[in-house]
Amino acid sequence: MASTILPSTIFVFFTFLLATEIVYSQSFIGINYGQVADNLPPPSATAKLLQSTSIEKVRLYGADPAIIKALANTGIGIVIGAANGDIPALAADPNFAKNWVNANVAPFHPASKIILITVGNEVITSNQDNLMNQLVPAIQNIQNALNSMSLGDIKVSTVHSMAVLRQSEPPSSGMFHPNYMTVLKELLEFNNATGSPFTINPYPYFAYRSDPRPETLAFCLFQPNAGRLDTNTNIKYMNMFDAQVDAIRSALNSMGFKNVEIVVAETGWPYKGDNDEVGSSLENAKAFNGNLIAHLRSMVGTPLMPGKSVDTYLFALYDEDLKPGPGSERAFGLFKPDLTMAYDVGLSKNGQSTPTSPKTTPVTTPSSPANNPSTKSPTSPKPKAGGGSWCLPKGGVSDAQLQANLDYACGRGLDCSAIQPGGACFEPNTIASHAAYAMNLFFQNGGRDPWTCDFSQSATLSSNNPSYNGCNYPGGST
């Protein structure tokens, strides 16, 4: 007698196939690949490492050709970035935008699968009106350049901090800050017309630091908790990530942009930090990242966007040992420079705790500077502000370290136009001069906290005003 396959058996079989496909094809899981470090493995080794995981997208903060080439023919989606300092030129000159695309996109795509260009990082919330108002013209010029070269399938957007919201609790009341509404409306019209995403950096870690209660920690780590009720919708939120993303969804909906997709450009949790950094521990980092990945894989979505997972880029692939600031800034990496896992959150395709990629000797590149001075340990005493009003490089610091400092400071949303061609501080056109200006700008905008004048122990506070001719360094009494 012929056997009969029951419909329920077919359903179970296809459910199994779907689950298997989700495990090995997780387009919603990406990772940030920062390079403010001097000990990173070569891009070719990193490409092999990524292929051994279920990570399918990588976000770069610039457009490093070595990395873009290494990811060719891997199928891994690549996000590249235009720096904040490029925004004025991109906005003012369509030819500059076309040259940027010709240099950073055209030689590599489609062998290297570039899927998104982010113009600037957290520009709108940087309190720099001039840069903010040039953002959308810069984005439009990049898009026009792509279209003219038949590369219009690549999307263009920018990345926002959660400070773009004036209100986020409860999530249904999410509202953008009125100071940014004019630029946001113009940007969202562009997003809507081109199908590009609204990209955001939600960090439950920082939410916990501002409210370090045990119940808040459980809520942030996707652990069992009582939940938080949104009384407007009667929805009970069980984790901070969903609440933060849905607050953005509500803000977009309230402006009439229900079709604009959200992408999480950064989220993560440090596995260690300074003594006063509450919550930064290996246990918490593993819980957050592991539970976030499981949440994304469940495809349950958020209460306001059910049944799908928002594209989410974990922060970060590696630690960046040249980053300034508190110890946690250098402790977000999921992998070590020797390509082993810092801790296992279930990203490996083969289920092993360590990837199968061979260990390699780290190399240095222009964006991964050599000659690194000793970095600050998490238990180092806080530097004293003394009478210093300006933050400047120490004597004898290498150009590589200065370049890393320059890239970091100007990549934080600061207005570095003064050291761009034609700017008041462009001359002398040296790394040392430009880094000095940028490092001081970072310090002044950081509330003159002595920690922000550390730069891996390559900076010092000075009471001597370094301004010269028409170049004025911001400063004041500490």
Active site residues: 122, 266
Q: How far apart are CA 268 and CA 206, in angstroms?
A: 10
148 to 62, 99, 151, 204, 425: CA distances (angstroms)? 22, 12, 7, 41, 35
Among 436, 454, 457, smallest CA distance to 446 is for 454
Assess contact for 26 and 296: CB atoms under 8 A: yes
> 247: number of CA atoms within 13 Å, CB side?
26
- Other beta carbons within 10 angstroms of residue 144's beta carbon come to 16
- Other beta carbons within 10 angstroms of residue 386's beta carbon come to 12
DSSP letter for 471, please. Answer: B
Q: How far apart are CA 205 and CA 188, in angstroms?
A: 28
Q: Which amino acid is at 24?
A: Y
3-class state of residue 389 by DSSP: coil
Structure-token match 């998490």, residue found: 378
DSSP letter for 252, please. Answer: H
Which pair of structure tokens corresponds to residue 291?
Answer: 């539970």
Max Cα-Cα span within the chain: 97
Which pair of structure tokens corresponds to residue 62?
Answer: 């610039």
Nearest-Å Rg of the Cα atoms of the chain is 23
Alpha helices for 394-473 (secondary structure H): 399-410, 431-445
Assess contact for 232 and 222: CB atoms under 8 A: no
Taking CB atoms within 8 Å and a gap of at least 24, the contacts of 275-281 are 275/378, 275/379, 277/209, 277/326, 277/327, 277/328, 278/208, 278/209, 278/212, 279/205, 279/208, 279/209, 279/212, 279/217, 280/205, 280/327, 280/328, 280/331
